Structure 1
Amino acid sequence: MASFEDFPMIEVKKMNETEVRLFSLLFNLLREPKGISFQKFRIIMPRFYKNEDIESDRKKLYRDLNQLKSLGFNIKVAQYGYQSEDFFPYYIEKESIDRSLKFSKEELEYLSKSLYAAELTKELVSLSQKLFSFHLDLIPNGSKQTLKSESDENSVDTSNTEKILQAIKDKRAITIVYGYDEKERTIEPYRLVRKHTTDFYVLAYDRGKKSLRRFILPKITVKKETKEEFFSNLKITNEDLNFHPLSLKTHPEMEILFQIHPEYEDRWRSFLEGARYEIVDHQYKVFTTNQNALFQFFVILPEALVESSSTWKEKFANHLQEWENLYQFV
């Protein structure tokens, strides 16, 4: 029979400062699944990351996170292009279940023969490209050449920028198809607008919708250059050229008051740039025709919100609940 001496007690030692800091860091990450930024760590863990030398604190946090990674914790960082690195949230990624389909070579060969035996449609071509992206050798002989020739016959000229610019210059209407909608529509293009550095939009009057619309340039295919002059005689305003999501017209203009935490005011102002707002008694009065566009900012930075109207907070809570319900099915 085993005696007590066969199972000696583990010696209990007091945790040192580094171990205490690592445990605190880990527990906070587990408690906040959406992640915690360096700046927030400085607020909630001032004992460890609130020194006068911010660069020293930053390096210490990096070392501690790497230490947790070496212990097996899958720590990731979510990056947002418009934010400083100090505000990227660190989080522990949950182990994901591999739900991808696995095919044997024989199964892929059977699928390829079945697909290419049928009449090729856009859906079948798209499916084939996904299934055989790394197994092109399994596509039946001749199928690739046949698909290419059919594509050549039905190809549509997508170099439309010159035609659109000419129509803007001549003030002539053009007939287009937009995106995947095969229905033709006649528009009167007024301006080509660049948003940020790479996004281009065409500001045009849609005769069918009888209103000024914004079209993403790469999604436009010009079907016909008409000789018709503009029916509309619109004057483009600064409001028309404002592409801020808060300015999209989804409801009548409304005013919403927000009190923002001082540490997040710079990013809040950056987010509002281009939108109409006023500062009244240390609160931001935001004028918007698309209040849902505010949700993204506060989903990413919920700690930035100090106070707002009960109506808006209820709507925001409902928005979060809707997304949580959707994720139940993922």
Structure 2
Amino acid sequence: MTTCLESTALRSLTLLGNECDRLALLDFKKRITADPLDVMSSWNHSIHFCSWVGVSCHRSTKRVLMLNLESQKLVGSIPPSVGNLTYLTGIKLGANNFHGEIPPEMGRLQSLQYLNLSYNSFRGVIPTNLSQCTQLKMLDLQDNRIKGSIPNQLSSLLNLKCLLLYGNSLIETIPPWIGNFSSLRFLYLGSNNLQGSIPNELGHITGLVEFIVEMNNLSGMVPSSIYNVSSIQIFSVAVNQLHGELPPNLGTMLPDLVEFYCNENKFTGNIPLSLSNASRLQILEFSVNGLSGTVPGESFGGFGT
């Protein structure tokens, strides 16, 4: 049974937490330098912060759970005080014009499950402190100006379902430990400056649906383990320096295949006849390689040799 003293203490802690959240949100608002849709006008003292546009709170505790300001044409940066919103489960700021660096204080958000900062102008590196956000299911940093390597510290994010780093300036190699992300469904590493070979360990992700490493500087052969991930629907290794032959039984190894891109590499050998077994296949792109033969069955959009 909770005593009056304990109730008062709990209430004080709740009020303190609420005030901490309110101040962090106001600090966030201060960093907004352009708001053409006037979405931040509700962020004022006459309305409780749980009713501010883009803010969602827990029904009883009134702690902030979600910050969702996607596609609002906002210009600004993220303050370090975002790390004080310790109950956050989601930050969705995609498709705006945020700039500056991603604050390392985000690593304090240990309940965070969704982080979407895609289609902005963030610079700097991926903060290693994000490794502390071990509940993350989605890490979406696509189409920014992020540089450096993929930090090894992120190997702790074992609950990831989506790792979306497409369209940045990432360098060095694809980390083999991504193969430990057994829940991963979407892996977008394309359009960066990654080099080296594709790790064999990625073939351990048995539920992978979309595998996109196109437009890098990857070399070597595609590991046979990747072709054995039968759940893959979209497969793109296009525009790299990869070589070797495609498996003759590719169509039966990847029965759910919808789109396959290996164009602008150094592949040789025959186009697999087994592709006629991939009944869902819609797009094949083989152009600018050393492949020979014809596509069996129907003509698929995007195909060329």
Report the TM-score, using the length of structure 1 for normalisation.
0.24
Structure in which a larger fraction of residues adopt helix:
1
